[in-house]
Structure 1
Amino acid sequence: MMAHRIQRRTFLGSAGAAAAIAAIPFARLQAQAAAELPKIPIPPPISSEERLARIAKARALMQKNGIGAIVVEAGPSLDYFTGVQWWRSERLTAAIIPASGEPIIVTPFFERPSVAESLSIPAEIRTWNEDEEPLKLVADFLKERGVAGQAVGFEETDRFFILDRLKQQLPALNAVSGNPVVRGCRMIKSPAELALMQSANDIMLASLTYAAARTREGMTPAEIDALIAAAQKTLGGSYDDGLILLGEASAYPHGSHKPQLVKRGEVVLMDCTCSVHGYQADITRTYVFGGDPTPEQRKLWDQVHRGQQLAIQTAKPGVPAGAVDDAVRRLYESWGFGPGYRLPGLSHRTGHGIGMEVHEPINLVHGEMTPLAPGMCFSDEPGLYIPGKFGVRLEDCWHMTEAGPKFFTQPPPSIDKPFG
């Protein structure tokens, strides 16, 4: 974990400085970041041995839940179990993992060499040509393994055409949710996964801090985002764009299409993600640019900070995930916000699951009864929003241990030290 400190004077600047930054090619921004940022260690990617252990756990969960096989199409879960990094299109690429024996990968014939490059477990690759039905390959495999008559689990993000066309091949198909298997594996992070997430969080916070120190009056969200991207890529992270909200736009959790410029005395909200070897970080910082916060800005920031602390204090092993959201919402309602998800107040959940995806099950939201358990990872981001004025969001991610929750990054102590 790195220590970060930004002095308020570094926020001061001019429209001319902003224009100068806008004119700098991205390669030069990266070179400047490389010269000024310390290196952050990056752990190795997930090993084949760990993926084989995941397959073994998946098999055990299938047997426990009476599932004969699961179908996992291209996306994070395919990478999670097999290492295959592929995108979704109308052409099926998927893994079929049986409760016993090795899985197979089904993919188009012409994609076989590319798919094989990232496959990191023993698995036969079965291919189909453009005039053939890929779901017949799936059906044939289920028959070979003697599980076509058993329950077949589908990951919750699998697209409808897969189920629909497999039913055409197997009319008696007993399709069930694959959640007990896929969620049962992915929700509990291993030490190797936690190490990658820690690295991603360290890089993300360093990048936000770097960009904030170089933000100038008159800059646009895109110009601030370019500074974040340059820092993050220099440090070894993968960046997919950030959410930079200025002034009134900060009152709307996912922003506004209206033109925005950095102005003295207004809120800057930076909500960005970072990926390291496929594992995500998600951090938000809110500060006031170029001057002392108003009493209203300071009060709202302090209230959000208190809500974030209450969330982490409420999260304990065995506590229902929804209880975290409920505790924060009760506190906010006692101050006159809401009630519930109404505005002004907290209009979104207190946090979301995170891992290979920025948003993944489960969420810290009212009604979620899943008990918190060691290895689960979440964001903690109970913002407050006043439409027409401004909003504040502070977000740090954490993971549950046997002894309780542990932050990947420490929340800032005050609006006067917005990056710690």
Structure 2
Amino acid sequence: MNRRKFIENSALASSAVALLGTSCTTENTSAEDKFKLKPLTGGVSFINTKDREQRIEKAALLMQKHSIDAIFIESGTSLEYFAGIRWWPSERMTGLLLFSDASINYICPAFEQERLQELITVMGEVAIWQEHESPFALVAKLFKDKGYASGMLGIEENVRFFQSDGIASHLPQAIIINAKPITAGCRAIKTVKELALMKKANEITLEAYRYGFSNLKEGMSQYELGAIVTEASTALGATEAGWAGAMFGEYTAFPHGSKTAQQLKEGDLVLIDGGCKLGGYQADITRTTIFGKPTQRQLDIWNIVKEAQTAVYEQAKAGVPCEILDATARAIVGKYDFGGEYENFFHRVGHGIGMDFHEWEYLVKGNTTPMQPGMCFSNEPGIYIYGELGVRLEDCFYITENGYESFTPQSPSIENPI
């Protein structure tokens, strides 16, 4: 479990406790009824079987281009992306082999076959294995049966080691490589429909933040605020509420939050980072505001961070190496004596985003990958001073033929964050 997922789960658990103790009125009251918020999802078009079939066709063409005979994918967002199947990771292999002729073999335990069949919308053959049998040998057999015993097999990069190692042990003559040219080649470039889902997910998240900020009150905990925002996103139409990590005062210097219990007081900075999902696509927004009146130092640091975010946008265009955007933000922070490296700006300026919070590519020093139309990123510079404060502003954007488009407008001011 990665750090972001751990924080997300912790925030959700804490939010649930906070809701039980504070915001829930009756057991059967919906979030929409409770908050008097209406869904923002009218007219939204979700991903369908035709979209997934087009993805498989594109993957097949990329495999032919890269001389890859097949790719293996297990439980995770790539399985959902190509096949529309959500499956939990366990010690029992469930996944698919996608071949360069666009044919599919699904692999699952025999006792899960009926369950898998219920979920299949993109047609393919189902191969099963019994509890005493090796799923790795089954994958190898399917690969060999297509005539690829000494061919090239791509492994989706999030496949767990015991599975990739097990498959490789049964294909001693094959070439096993990273399937990133195929998976990222498809997933990193978003379609118009994907971009629309992401834009709407970000709009829902921002509106949930607006609602949360309108309910700030002295003495509330960070978990109460996170719970309000999370439940508001559901009322606004999110298909998955996601998470909302809230931080107050000096704990805003922890980029992903602190376990320390916090109670909001006059003069505290308030930082919320998180995002909901809509139709499988992720939003990611951070806003920093003030509860009360800002000090000059708080205001100055907030304005520096916004200047850095604006400068990043000015560099966002097709053909520009990813690392340039990180260097641009760091130069602004350094200009104001907060360090040009990681002294007070602890993390990269952005990451790719789509079905996962963090995807290809990363806006970080050393990544010379040129940005392409359809790629989506976060833009999130920050300044953090432990024991005092932290400020981060984050919006997501995508590259166009002529520059970029942001899913949400930049934060107007420290006192008017949305």
Distance 1:304 1:193, change over 3 A: same
Instruction: Write the distance in 2 (CA, Å) between the matches of 1:206 and 1:118.
Output: 33
* Cα-to-partner distance string for 1:113-147 (whole Å, 9 max, x where unaligned): 22223322111111111111111221111111112
Instruction: Write the distance in 1 (CA, Å) between the matches of 2:200 and 2:399.
Output: 17
Match of 2:50, SS state, is helix
Match of 2:243, SS state, is coil
Is 1:96 matched up with 2:97?
yes
Is 1:398 matched up with 2:397?
yes
Distance 1:37 1:87, change over 3 A: same
Instruction: Write the distance in 2 (CA, Å) between the matches of 1:417 and 1:123.
Output: 52
CA-based RMSD: 1.8
Identity of paired residues, percent?
40
Q: Is the 8 A contact 1:33 1:231 kept in 2?
A: no
* Cα-to-partner distance string for 1:258-283 (whole Å, 9 max, x where unaligned): 11111111011010111011000001
Distance 1:38 1:135, change over 3 A: closer
Instruction: Write the distance in 1 (CA, Å) between the matches of 2:219 and 2:66.
Output: 58
Q: Is the 8 A contact 1:197 1:281 kept in 2?
A: yes
Instruction: Write the distance in 2 (CA, Å) between the matches of 1:33 and 1:399.
Output: 34
Distance 1:215 1:26, change over 3 A: farther
* Pairwise CA distance, 1:35: 2.1
* Pairwise CA distance, 1:163: 2.0
The correspondence for 1:283, drawn from 265, 282, 285, is 285
Match of 2:210, SS state, is helix
Instruction: Write the distance in 2 (CA, Å) between the matches of 1:179 and 1:168.
Output: 21
Instruction: Write the distance in 1 (CA, Å) between the matches of 2:92 and 2:81.
Output: 20
TM-score by length of structure 1 reads 0.91
Distance 1:33 1:148, change over 3 A: farther
Instruction: Write the distance in 2 (CA, Å) between the matches of 1:288 and 1:148.
Output: 62
Unmatched segments (≥5 aa) in structure 1: 1-17
Q: Which moved more, 1:81-90 or 1:25-34?
A: 25-34
2:45 maps to 44
Distance 1:38 1:111, change over 3 A: closer
Instruction: Write the distance in 2 (CA, Å) between the matches of 1:309 and 1:107.
Output: 48
Instruction: Write the distance in 2 (CA, Å) between the matches of 1:115 and 1:310.
Output: 48
Instruction: Write the distance in 2 (CA, Å) between the matches of 1:309 and 1:339.
Output: 17
Which AA in structure 2 matches 1:339? G
Q: Is the 8 A contact 1:152 1:176 kept in 2?
A: yes
Instruction: Write the distance in 1 (CA, Å) between the matches of 2:374 and 2:40.
Output: 27
Instruction: Write the distance in 2 (CA, Å) between the matches of 1:215 and 1:264.
Output: 11
Instruction: Write the distance in 1 (CA, Å) between the matches of 2:182 and 2:265.
Output: 50
Q: Is the 8 A contact 1:321 1:370 kept in 2?
A: yes
1:191 maps to 192
Distance 1:29 1:120, change over 3 A: closer
Is 1:112 matched up with 2:116?
no
Unmatched segments (≥5 aa) in structure 2: 1-18
1:85 maps to 86
Which AA in structure 2 matches 1:272? G
Q: Which moved more, 1:120-129 or 1:33-42?
A: 33-42
1:225-236 paired onto structure 2 within 5 Å:
225-236=226-237
Instruction: Write the distance in 2 (CA, Å) between the matches of 1:20 and 1:108.
Output: 42
2:66 maps to 65
Q: Which moved more, 1:39-48 or 1:198-207?
A: 39-48
2:15 maps to none
1:176 maps to 177
2:409 maps to 410
Is 1:382 matched up with 2:400?
no
Number of equivalences: 399
Distance 1:318 1:171, change over 3 A: same
